[in-house]
Structure 1
Amino acid sequence: MRRTAHELKVINGAERTPKRPKKSAVAGTVPQAETLKPPDFLDAIAKREFRRVAALMAASGSLCALDLALLSTYAVAFSRWKQAESELRNLSLTVRSKTNVEFQRPLIGIANSAARVMNAAAKELGLTPTARRTLGIVPSEPSDAADRYF
């Protein structure tokens, strides 16, 4: 009689059992959004975004003390993206070199790079619809019946 792959794993001791996440005193701490101070190295735009997102995360119960560095990364990327996009609004998307070769303006690369970092951090923090669904974060129901349609 041939043994199945599962039976062989059990015999050899190679079967993996799912591990439960360990509860930690640090990981379980939920800082209050009102008392949470943005790091000093953030500029004004990043500090404003840090406070905004921290308040939203605290309200949903998903803010953890271990996420503060990632939240800072998100806020810095948001600030760079916003500054680059603001400057690009009044400029053309391309520039010409001395030899009359047209190429993409460097600000576009800065904006794209910041957007990639911002989106990656947003997914990790549970700020995207897919991440919220995966983490089981349910948005609050509208208070008025008519609000469901708007």
Structure 2
Amino acid sequence: MAGNANSGRPAKPATVHLLQGNRSKKSMSELLDEAATPAVPVAAPPMPDWLTEDAAAEWQRVLPDLITLGLISTLDMMALATYCEAVADWQRFRCMIAEQNQRSESGDKGDVQTFATGAKQISVWRQLANDAEKRANAAGAQFGFSPMARRTLKPAAPAQGNLFPNEHEEAAAKYF
């Protein structure tokens, strides 16, 4: 089957067209309108009632900044809830590791588990904490919660303004 809706390169956003010199067939006014109005309005999603207490605290901590930066909409509830629950899990597992470190009599720390045979392995709490950290980092990257993820979240450059003197503006409008 030759060509369907998924064929070819994905369309570039209007801001990319504006930054790269608009080689597309779209008019300049159409691109500016598309860049000025976000596809999804910035708004706080409702906090799910099933979040744990620690996850709800993380939700309240990050939500104002996400709104200020314009990186959240009502559609992002699941992604933010996933991040908040992963952070809450990570905190809980880190507390369990610290608790085991304090009450350990055999010299094993909360990071290492020793079996009756003498074999050692990474403790279950450490494995769970590592998994929660990976989940938090993956979900947080969607909102720019790491320096590398923030590289792609830079705002678009402001509009350049009128490129042509007034007498040539009508002629330029035919081609852009």
TM-score, shorter chain, exceeding 0.5? yes
Structure 1 residues 108 and 68: CA distance shift in structure 2, 3 A: same
Look up the match of 2:56. Answer: 47
Is 1:77 the counterpart of 2:98 in the alignment? no
Separation of aligned partners in 2, 1:51 and 1:27: 25
Given that 1:28 and 1:64 are in contact with CA atoms closer than 8 Å, whether structure 2 keeps it comes out as yes
Structure 1 residues 17 and 118: CA distance shift in structure 2, 3 A: closer
Give the number of the structure whose alpha-carbon radius of gyration is greater: 2
Is 1:94 the counterpart of 2:86 in the alignment? no
Task: Report sequence identity in percent.
Answer: 28
Residue from 124, 127, 132 that aligns with 1:109: 127
Structure 1 residues 18 and 41: CA distance shift in structure 2, 3 A: closer
Q: After the TM superposition, which parts of structure 1 deviate over 2 Å for at least 4 consecutive aligned residues?
A: 15-18, 20-23
Look up the match of 2:11. Answer: 19
TM-score in terms of structure 1 length: 0.69
Q: CA deviation at 1:97?
A: 1.4
Structure 1 residues 107 and 17: CA distance shift in structure 2, 3 A: closer
Range with greater deviation from structure 2 (105-114 or 52-61): 52-61
Structure 2 regions of 5+ residues with no counterpart?
A: 1-6, 15-33, 101-108, 157-176
Q: CA deviation at 1:66?
A: 2.1
Separation of aligned partners in 1, 2:90 and 2:38: 32
Residue from 4, 18, 29 that aligns with 2:41: 29
Separation of aligned partners in 1, 2:134 and 2:79: 14
Structure 1 regions of 5+ residues with no counterpart?
A: 1-14, 139-150
Look up the match of 1:142. Answer: none
Q: CA deviation at 1:127?
A: 1.6
Range with greater deviation from structure 2 (93-102 or 52-61): 93-102
Alignment root-mean-square deviation, CA:
2.7
Is 1:67 the counterpart of 2:76 in the alignment? yes
Given that 1:27 and 1:66 are in contact with CA atoms closer than 8 Å, whether structure 2 keeps it comes out as no
Given that 1:74 and 1:121 are in contact with CA atoms closer than 8 Å, whether structure 2 keeps it comes out as yes
TM-score in terms of structure 2 length: 0.60
Structure 1 residues 110 and 95: CA distance shift in structure 2, 3 A: same
Is 1:131 the counterpart of 2:149 in the alignment? yes
Separation of aligned partners in 1, 2:120 and 2:8: 57
